[in-house]
Structure formats: C-alpha cells, structure tokens
C-alpha cells in the first residue's frame, strides 16, 4: 500500500506483543535532523508505550544515512540487543547521489539481516521532497519511526517463538 494511502503511525495496540524484557538499539542519522530525530522520538516513545524499559533502549547516531549499517553492525557485534532499528532520510536532489545512498543502505541492511540472526528494521525515508519527509516523520502520513518500532517488537516476538529453548 502506498504511504499516501496509509498512516504510518496507525496500528492496533492490542495486536502488538509486550516489549517487556526486550533490548532494542536505535541508530539514527544526523543528516536531516528535523526529520530523523522525529523518527527516533516516535520509535522511542512507541517502544516505551509497549513495555520496553528505558534502560533497554540503546541510542546511537551516525553522520548520515549511508553510515546506518555500520552503526547497526556495531550494535550487533558489541551489545546484546534483540533488534536494531535504523532511521534515516534521503531526499532526492539534482544528482544521482540519492540513488547511490539509497541503494547502499538498502544493500547494507540486507547483508546484516542475512549475516546476523538479529532483526534489522529499515526505517529510512527516501522521498522526493522535504515536505514528503515531514509528512512521514510525524506529519499527515504519521511517523515511520512508530512503524519501525512496532515492526521490531513483532520480529523479536516471532524470533522468540521460533527459537528453540536453551538446555
């Protein structure tokens, strides 16, 4: 469904698993901070609302969207998080830079997902305009950070259900 037809913050709270005991990393790009920090705040607040403890939400920033996968890998390598949410925003400019950054972060996330068993949640906006980005970072289309947090909770829950009990 196209984002223009969906509110990214809309979900049924009763269908979301409890985040109690979950540890989640959030990596946020510093580039376009008006947008990315709104995504971060939406994700953070949603995790708290669903029972993740403040001390179990780990934040980090990276300079730009391209560096998100490195930040996520650091979480995967050096912490015990059960999911990592990557949040960024790339707005189309006059050059092909947009294409390279979007492709690079997408491929980087895919590589992490296949290399690690820990979910990496893609919360990167790729928009044509600043206005479109604002609309998806708490504006008329909701907040992609909220959607990313809900996805993290669901993926951790799925993994816990499938993971064999430790002996």
List the CATH number of the domain containing 71: 3.40.50.960
State the first-to-last Cα distance of the chain, in angstroms, to the nearest integer: 43
Mean pLDDT of 62-78: 98
Note whether residue 166 is domain-resident.
no
Give the position of tokens 């895919």.
Answer: 110
Note whether residue 139 is domain-resident.
yes
- Cα(64)–Cα(162) distance, rounded to whole angstroms? 34
Note whether residue 76 is domain-resident.
yes
Strands 83-91 and 24-29: parallel
29: left (phi over 0), alpha (psi -120 to 50) or beta: beta
Task: Examine the residue annotation and report whether 44 is marked as an active-site residue of this protein.
Answer: no
Note whether residue 3 is domain-resident.
no
Note whether residue 49 is domain-resident.
yes
pLDDT surpasses 70 at 76:
yes
- Cα(35)–Cα(43) distance, rounded to whole angstroms? 13
- pTM for the whole structure: 0.94
pLDDT digits (tens, 9 = 90+) for 3-57: 566 787 889 989 999 999 999 999 999 999 999 999 999 999 999 999 999 999 9
Q: What is the pLDDT of residue 163?
A: 79
Note whether residue 40 is domain-resident.
yes
Which token pair is 132? 């479109």
Strands 142-143 and 137-139: antiparallel
Is residue 31 within 8 A of residue 78, CB to CB? The reply is no
44, 50, 59, 97: which one is catalytic? 97
Note whether residue 9 is domain-resident.
no
Is residue 36 within 8 A of residue 19, CB to CB? The reply is no
Q: What residue numbers bound the domain in which 135 lies? A: 21-160
- Cα(108)–Cα(12) distance, rounded to whole angstroms? 31
Give the position of tokens 């690690």.
Answer: 116
Q: How many domains does the chain have?
A: 1
pLDDT surpasses 60 at 70:
yes
Note whether residue 4 is domain-resident.
no
pLDDT surpasses 70 at 1:
no
For the CA atoms of the chain, what is the radius of gyration? Answer: 15
Q: Helix, strand, or coil here: 18?
A: coil
- Cα(33)–Cα(68) distance, rounded to whole angstroms? 14
Q: What is the pLDDT of residue 119?
A: 98
């Amino acid at each position: 469904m196209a984002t223009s037809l969906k509110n990214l913050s809309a979900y049924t709270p009763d269908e979301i698993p409890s985040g109690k005991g979950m540890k989640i990393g959030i990596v946020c790009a510093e580039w376009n901070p008006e947008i990315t920090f709104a995504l971060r705040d939406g994700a953070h607040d949603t995790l708290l609302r669903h029972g993740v403890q403040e001390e179990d939400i780990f934040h980090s920033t990276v300079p730009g969207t391209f560096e998100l996968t490195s930040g996520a890998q650091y979480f995967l390598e050096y912490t015990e998080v059960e999911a990592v949410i990557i949040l960024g925003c790339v707005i189309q400019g006059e050059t092909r830079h947009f294409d390279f950054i979007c492709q690079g972060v997408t491929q980087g996330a895919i590589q992490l997902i296949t290399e690690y068993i820990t979910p990496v949640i893609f919360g990167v906006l790729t928009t044509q305009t600043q206005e479109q980005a604002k609309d998806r970072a708490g504006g008329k289309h909701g907040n992609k950070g909220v959607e990313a947090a809900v996805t993290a909770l669901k993926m951790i829950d799925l993994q816990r259900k499938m993971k064999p009990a430790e002996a």
